[in-house]
Structure 1
Amino acid sequence: MHPPPDKRPDPNALLALAGREGRGRLTVFLGAAPGVGKTYAMLSRARREKDAGVDMVIGVVETHGRTETAALIEGLEILPRRMIDYRGRELDEFDIDAALARRPKLIIVDELAHTNAPDSRHPKRYQDVEELIGAGIDVWTALNIQHLESLVDVVSRITGVTVRESVPDSVIKKADEVIVVDITPAELIQRLEAGKVYLPENAKRAADGFFKPGNLTALRELALRRTTDRVDDQMIAYLRQNAIEGPWETADRLLVCIGPDTLSEKVVRTASRLANGLNAHWLVVTVERPGQDAADAAAMARLDETFRLAERLGAETQRVSGHDYVGEILRLARRENATQIVLGRGEAGWWQRLTGRSLPDALLRQSSDIGICVITDGESDTPPTRKKGRRWEMPPLLSTIGVAVGSVAAATAIGVGLRHFTPLPNLSMLFLMAVLVCALTVGRLSAIVAAVLSFLAYNFFFIEPIYTFTVAQPYELFALVIFLIVAVTTGDLAGRVRDRAEGAGRRATNLQALYEFSRKLSGITSVDDVVWAGVAHAQATLHGQVAIAIPVEDELTVSAAWPPDTVLDSTDMTALRWAFEKRENAGKGTETLPNLRFQFRPIMAPHGPVGVFGFEQPKDAPPLSPTEERVLGAILDQTAIAIDRAQLARENARTVALEESEKLRGALLSSISHDLRTPLSSITGAVTSLREFGRKMSPESRDDLLASIEEEAARLSRFVSNLLDMTRIEAGALNARRDWVDVPDVVRAAVERARKAFPERAVEVSVASELPPVRGDSTLLGQVLFNLIDNAHKYGGEDTPTTIYARREDAEVVVTVTDQGRGIPPADLEKIFDKFYRRGKVDGRAAGTGLGLSISRGFVEAMGGTITAESPAVRKRGTRIVIRLPVGA
């Protein structure tokens, strides 16, 4: 590409390009938070480069215990690290001298924000990377957005976590390539809960602190913004180097216009495909005339259904009230920074085609910088037609006078033309019409100017003697004065009507926006979501920087701000706390710290302040009008109510949890007191009988009492063991071993144990031959089988055997324990695995503590298996407990 002769490349841009010659390339894998997969993506790409024959080595990579990441390192050349003795500890650091001596084509240096150990050549790792690049070596590295120096305070304020290591922003600016590694907050939280980001003991603490959906969304916004800035810098550098004139469009936003007609559904679906293809944000809007809601109930129902379809497809929706369809659509499009307007065109009549008065035609004429995409009945995906060019806009006063002059001139020309054909005694009506046109289109001032100009023009052109401002007859002068009074009065009244109509339209728009805001808040139950919704709506209303702070552990913390990199300094925070404590406004425009950028207002709920709202208006913006004050007050009132409701819901959930805990504790104490008292009473009675009457008893009686003591002691031991096992499961302290387990041996051992404990009960066993081993804990599996056999004996009837089968199904070993009792109702098949759930007594023994099946489920799931119940099992009766364990690889 050669620039035009009169355009020359920027010398500074060419010098910067020449300065990169001989240097290595820096590629930064940028992420919004730990765990998004930066190192994994970097190593995956490195393996492809290695397979392509690139001389590549690993200088330093931190896997943080993630097995998937560690597997990617296998087979790659790794430089040995340098060992440093620091305060009695050995630290392994990146060896830059070894890297320079090896001098590969590409080297991977992870953790760019790392601080090197003392006695290293450079204090920070990014300085090691700069030296490698200066030596002509390409470097790949990874970095989280919170480590950029300019964002450290912002991230700390958003997340509440202090960032201790940082790198200058110039590192990103100098990077040759920035690759954003990104996943959704929900997916990242799921990875965190699965133990793929931190160890289990740290994962819950991280989820409660740093890894909140609101925090992750803000960090994603910061990462994408910073990457966009870097892309813009690269684009500008390319334009300057090649003498290409801009600007270039970088993002698309679609405004989709619909109505109650049947074509709107097709418009929404086509716009959805267009937005997905462009990766664009899209807003679906309808313009309603006042009183239209009651005009046609079927049409309104069809419009509501179209809105629901748009929301399901991922669009935002909005309703606008107004008389001027074209003006409202263009006004909303410019406010939302829309690049394309998508709308449908039905079958137009001949008059519309002749006059061009259809909505698409009107938008095409008046939208100078917004593309128009028209969807018709016969076409599915009409490509957008974009109009280019800029339209000069007159200043308001000049435009007002210009419309008045033009209207009067047109009335004069029409009157002069008509006078040549027929005498008209009431030509003053033409000028009165011009006054009305000015009043209805521009306003009162234009109408008054038009009335004065009409007075002069009527006198000059149509009252004898013409072409002079003199009046021959007195009655003509009287008529002129009356005309002037009528014209001024009529113009003033028409202008007032127009102003009031515009005010009503603005109020309807504000009410509609508040309705949409309240509808969003009605479905939100989290305080974080309420705060973010309030910030987004307030910023769209005020068009400036906004922030909301709420108390967190008795300390006011900024929970949401827009843009996310909005920073409040110490003075701002002082005014914010003052507004919360004194319940008064503070900051700009108030008597308290009026020199600040922000104005802070307490968010008041019925019982007191629940937060503080701060906003900074754009530069040179006038103070808020009374209407804007009312809208802002309504937003803050609704936000306060929503925050209060969310906090009450949270308190209610906590109260319910405490009540359930109290019920559980009561049930536990009741169960423990009963189940401990019964065996202890039996043991105490037997011991007392032996002590008082032992010498008088026969040997058979003494043996019976000793057997009773032994049986009740064993029962008491099992009960205590079950309590301890349940405590381990609930505390997360159950660590099942992953050894090879031979299922037939465990089944036989459990059956032998059951036969010794219950010698009078029959057990039938069937184990498939060549059953493969499973990965698990033989002790836990044996305890599970014993609990199931014990349970089957209790509820299976005295004369029916308990059956145990073990077989293989595909990649699982299946073990079933079946009784032939009365069975379990289908509604209780899941309840039997709940703690303390008991179904009474069947074989004469007590029903037990209700912990056996609950413990069994905990043990099986700890080994990676599943346990379920089926009923009926045999001949329309009985219960079968099914255990499924994965076959070991």
Structure 2
Amino acid sequence: MPENDRDQTSRPDPDALLALAKQDRRGKLTLFLGAAPGVGKTYAMLMRARRLKEEGVDIVVGLVETHGRGETAALLEGLEVLPLRHVEHSGRTLQEFDIDAALARCPQVIVVDELAHTNLGDSRHPKRYQDIEELVDAGIDVWTAVNIQHLESLADVVAQIAGVAVRERIPDTVLKRADEVLLVDLPPAELIERLKEGKVYLPENASRAAERFFRLGNLTALRELALRRTADRVDDQMVDYLRQNAIEGSWAAGERLLVCIGPDLLSEKVVRTASRLASGLNADWIVVSVARADGDASTAAMRRLDATIRLAEQLGAETRRIVGSDFVEEILKLARREHATQIVIGAKRHRFPLLPFRRSLPDALVARASGIGIHLITDRNEPAPKPKRKHKRALPEGSGRALAIAASSAATATALGILIERFIVLQNISLLYLLAVLASAAYAGYVAAIAAALISVLAYNFFFIEPVGTVTVAEPHEVFALFTFLAAAILAGGLASRVREQAKTASRRAAATQALYDFSRKLSGTANAEDVLWAAVTQIQATLRRNAVLLLPAGGEIEPAAAWPPDTELGVSDMTAARWTFERNEAAGNATGTLPNSPFQFRPLRSPHGIVGVCGFLQDDKPLDISEERALAAILDQTAVAVDRARLSRESLDQAARLEGEKFRQALLSSISHDLRTPLATITGAVTSLRQLGERMPPESRDDLLKSIEEESGRLTRFVANLLDMTRVEAGTINARRDWVDVADVVHSAVERARTYFTGRVFETSIAADLPLIRGDSVLLGQVLFNLLDNANRFGGDEAISIYARREGDELVLSVTDLGKGIAPDDLDHVFDKFFRKGKPDGRSLGTGLGLSISKGFVEAMGGRIKAESPALKRRGTRISMRFPVARTGTADKGQE
């Protein structure tokens, strides 16, 4: 093979490299694995810890259980031991590992013993292995110890070997995620000798342990399990190394298991066995449950199925739920789609042989599967069939009503038959009873159909078959007809009840689908995030019939945004669980592995762009059934998308606002650059001429240059003042005085100032004699009036500019009118906008476009109104009017004068 071809084909596995990159960002988990208590796991950890301490490594002891062993306790000397957390439990003070203290100390390595320990109720996590996972995620290396019997997949095997059920268990994924597994081994005979010497347990417990657990056969079997699991883990590490370094060689076989489970008791063993099989084959495995569309399994069965699925997920399986009528076809279809090489399924022993034309599910799979291995798992502990039951099975819920309907239907059919018999003799009177059976099935289900069939047979025999009035049958053909009728009635009743259950199931699903459709339509028409949250939280509460709350991030923290009922409150533990869900993207709270003491369960709202929020609902003793789980998942998905859409919409508006602001900034820079360059160029040219020519220039020319410098300097001063005033208007920092203002004086001062600046311009004033005083700021009002005169001078043509001041009711009206070209109707609404400038006939624009905007801000700051009108007079010109409220002298606020 050419070198370049080898380079293209022998590339590292991307998934393996990604897993390696993730390991670099987290701490390393070292697991000391033993076959049984007393082999020296804790002793080995502490010996290794002392060596690292001497080498200068920052290592501390978070928790160590010495179990009264003096030689183990002596190894703690010289090591830093973190203080434990004291917890009150059942009237006693107990000690627990303090994870918060460990995180605050943040050592390089920490020793935490007893990996399979169950924490007390007020702990953040129910199990210690979850505490250790949090430490590893925080970048701390952790050493811990566990015995092989605590692995979840081996719980049933250990129970068979040792005869003792192990209560403390950990998922097999903990062992798979360990970066290093150290097997601490001891021959069984030597371990038994240590037990007798009191080096494993205290003397009062040693004898009991030797009788029940520490037997040579038990320890040998457990030792084999530990050796096998360690070898499997070493093999996994070798395969990971080959993939990360693109080393060619022998690879594990590409086996893939499909595990079939149901709500029966055997499924738990099927999952555990499949986990061991997958571990031995180093294969991926999928656990699938198939249910009928009209299935109406009991609540206990559904809870058992949910528990089995959670167990499979803990053991590292991928889980699926399928709805279909043909179980065999659905299983084989999934097996072909997922390229499964082996199918694992439980096989029960039946109390009665099946009908010849009906096969069990395992037999049907064996008959129809082609090229796929079938593993049948049986339960050796399943009790043998018994001819008689010791306990009577309780009737299903609602059986009393069903029996009453069945009895009344059969009684009605009997009464109707007797009435008909009085008038006419019918040979097929049994059809009335068949009708009663169908009616019972339609109204009350299968139990009522069976009961109605049995009651109808007895009633038909007693009232209509010779000899009448007895339960005996005289003719043989009547016996055949009676049993045929019973079979037909049971069959028809079963079909009718099944149709009824299917109709009920379809109705429930249609209602759920309609509710989700209505919710989807409501969200599709909502762009506001607050409306989305309230619609979602009410939908969740209506679906689950439990208190619900939605939380969104705000200012770096997760905070409640909507709740239903509105008085729903979250405590400290609830908020801690919600923050955990948001930060870790995993469920927390009640019935989860994190902070289970919270009465709420929190789930993340996942969108294509990440976590957008958290949903919490009040979890009671009754867990969510499968229909509620599906509905909740659909609601959360739609809510996450809607919240994300609202966020994107808000960001789009913010972006548009930023673009608009950028547009204004560009206009401002353009205006500043133009309006500054022109006067500066004039001033610079005049100063240069004066310096270069000096006394050689005629006096008239020097005066003209000095005059131009003065005019352009004044223009610059006005321009800078306008910019400062506009900044004050936008910032809302204009503090207008509330003094008594004589408007006539302000008008005269502004006109005189304008005549100074705009020489040659004619100004006409008309001020009413009875003009009242107003409350305002004379300086601001003078600036406004001068801006209006400046604007009229620029665009008012060559005719005179008129200033009018008069009283209209309780208002003083002050207006400036020019007779120029006027303002187009479309521009009237924009003349007070920033940077709006009206062009001259030659296309050039004058001014900065800030004068009228500043005037509007000043007038409103003094409590007045300003308005532009065009045309003003003779179908041309522009009038800008200001209106101020007239102050009454008797009610004036003297304190502000």
Residue 418 of structure 1, aligned match among 406, 417, 420: 420
User: Could you say which residue in structure 1 is the equivalent of 2:323?
Assistant: none
Q: Matches of residues 706-855 of structure 1 in structure 2 within 5 Å?
A: 706-798=706-798, 800-841=799-840, 847-855=846-854
Tell me, in whole angstroms, the C-alpha distance in 2 between the residues paired with 1:648 and 1:759.
57
User: Could you say which residue in structure 2 is the equivalent of 1:668?
Assistant: 668
Distance 1:810 1:733, change over 3 A: same
Distance 1:586 1:720, change over 3 A: same
Name the amino acid aligned to 2:599.
R
Distance 1:845 1:739, change over 3 A: farther
Distance 1:845 1:444, change over 3 A: closer
Bigger mean CA offset, 397-406 vs 840-849: 840-849
Name the amino acid aligned to 2:630.
R
Pairwise CA distance, 1:523: 3.5
1:675-733 Cα distance to aligned partner (Å, 9 max, x none): 11111110010111111123122111111111101100000000000000001111111
SS in 1 for 2:486: helix
Tell me, in whole angstroms, the C-alpha distance in 2 between the residues paired with 1:716 and 1:841.
21
Residue 557 of structure 1, aligned match among 556, 559, 562: 559
Report if the CA contact (8 A) 1:803-1:819 is conserved.
yes
Tell me, in whole angstroms, the C-alpha distance in 1 between the residues paired with 2:441 and 2:673.
89
Report if the CA contact (8 A) 2:399-2:447 is conserved.
no
Report if the CA contact (8 A) 1:824-1:872 is conserved.
yes
User: Could you say which residue in structure 2 is the equivalent of 1:681?
Assistant: 681
User: Could you say which residue in structure 1 is the equivalent of 2:84?
Assistant: none
Pairwise CA distance, 1:636: 0.9
Tell me, in whole angstroms, the C-alpha distance in 2 between the residues paired with 1:504 and 1:845.
75
1:225-247 Cα distance to aligned partner (Å, 9 max, x none): xxxxxxxxxxxxxxxxxxxxxxx
1:315-356 Cα distance to aligned partner (Å, 9 max, x none): xxxxxxxxxxxxxxxxxxxxxxxxxxxxxxxxxxxxxxxxxx
Report if the CA contact (8 A) 1:435-1:450 is conserved.
yes
User: Could you say which residue in structure 2 is the equivalent of 1:862?
Assistant: 861
Give the gaps of 5 or more residues in structure 1.
Answer: 1-393
SS in 2 for 1:549: strand
Distance 1:409 1:592, change over 3 A: farther
User: Could you say which residue in structure 2 is the equivalent of 1:599?
Assistant: 601
Tell me, in whole angstroms, the C-alpha distance in 2 between the residues paired with 1:843 and 1:494.
91
Residue 459 of structure 1, aligned match among 449, 458, 461: 461
TM-score by length of 2: 0.53
Distance 1:586 1:483, change over 3 A: farther
Tell me, in whole angstroms, the C-alpha distance in 1 between the residues paired with 2:463 and 2:624.
48
Pairwise CA distance, 1:397: 2.2
1:475-529 Cα distance to aligned partner (Å, 9 max, x none): 1111112211211121111112222222222222222222332233234333233
User: Could you say which residue in structure 1 is the equivalent of 2:653?
Assistant: 653
SS in 1 for 2:771: coil
User: Could you say which residue in structure 1 is the equivalent of 2:109?
Assistant: none
Tell me, in whole angstroms, the C-alpha distance in 1 between the residues paired with 2:872 and 2:516.
59
Matched, 1:872 2:874: no
What value does the CA root-mean-square deviation take over the aligned residues? 2.0
Pairwise CA distance, 1:571: 3.0
User: Could you say which residue in structure 1 is the equivalent of 2:147?
Assistant: none
Between structure 1 and structure 2, the one with the greater Rg is 2
Q: Matches of residues 436-585 of structure 1 in structure 2 within 5 Å?
A: 436-585=438-587
Name the amino acid aligned to 2:591.
G
Tell me, in whole angstroms, the C-alpha distance in 2 between the residues paired with 1:525 and 1:400.
51
1:157-207 Cα distance to aligned partner (Å, 9 max, x none): xxxxxxxxxxxxxxxxxxxxxxxxxxxxxxxxxxxxxxxxxxxxxxxxxxx
Distance 1:642 1:845, change over 3 A: closer
Pairwise CA distance, 1:594: 4.5
Report if the CA contact (8 A) 1:794-1:842 is conserved.
no
Report if the CA contact (8 A) 1:795-1:842 is conserved.
no
Tell me, in whole angstroms, the C-alpha distance in 2 between the residues paired with 1:566 and 1:624.
20
Report if the CA contact (8 A) 2:838-2:845 is conserved.
no
Tell me, in whole angstroms, the C-alpha distance in 1 between the residues paired with 2:576 and 2:764.
77
Report if the CA contact (8 A) 1:868-1:882 is conserved.
yes
Pairwise CA distance, 1:846: 6.1
Report if the CA contact (8 A) 1:740-1:776 is conserved.
yes
Distance 1:593 1:754, change over 3 A: closer
TM-score by length of 1: 0.54
Pairwise CA distance, 1:763: 0.9
1:24-46 Cα distance to aligned partner (Å, 9 max, x none): xxxxxxxxxxxxxxxxxxxxxxx
Report if the CA contact (8 A) 1:866-1:884 is conserved.
yes
Distance 1:612 1:797, change over 3 A: same
Q: Matches of residues 111-150 of structure 1 in structure 2 within 5 Å?
A: none
Report if the CA contact (8 A) 1:408-1:450 is conserved.
yes
Pairwise CA distance, 1:590: 3.5
Distance 1:650 1:871, change over 3 A: same
Q: Matches of residues 178-193 of structure 1 in structure 2 within 5 Å?
A: none
Tell me, in whole angstroms, the C-alpha distance in 2 between the residues paired with 1:589 and 1:480.
55
Pairwise CA distance, 1:668: 1.1
User: Could you say which residue in structure 1 is the equivalent of 2:643?
Assistant: 643
User: Could you say which residue in structure 2 is the equivalent of 1:143?
Assistant: none
Report if the CA contact (8 A) 1:550-1:612 is conserved.
yes
Give the gaps of 5 or more residues in structure 2.
Answer: 1-395, 889-897
User: Could you say which residue in structure 2 is the equivalent of 1:888?
Assistant: 887
Pairwise CA distance, 1:844: 12
Tell me, in whole angstroms, the C-alpha distance in 1 between the residues paired with 2:460 and 2:587.
57
Tell me, in whole angstroms, the C-alpha distance in 1 between the residues paired with 2:595 and 2:744.
80
Tell me, in whole angstroms, the C-alpha distance in 2 between the residues paired with 1:486 and 1:586.
54
Distance 1:459 1:590, change over 3 A: farther
Pairwise CA distance, 1:582: 3.3
User: Could you say which residue in structure 1 is the equivalent of 2:434?
Assistant: 432
Distance 1:579 1:663, change over 3 A: same
**Matched residue count:** 493
Identity of aligned residues (%): 60
Name the amino acid aligned to 1:512.
Q
User: Could you say which residue in structure 2 is the equivalent of 1:249?
Assistant: none
Name the amino acid aligned to 1:631.
A
Distance 1:417 1:845, change over 3 A: closer
Tell me, in whole angstroms, the C-alpha distance in 2 between the residues paired with 1:436 and 1:589.
44
Distance 1:728 1:596, change over 3 A: closer
Tell me, in whole angstroms, the C-alpha distance in 1 between the residues paired with 2:462 and 2:676.
116
1:864-887 Cα distance to aligned partner (Å, 9 max, x none): 111111111111111111111111
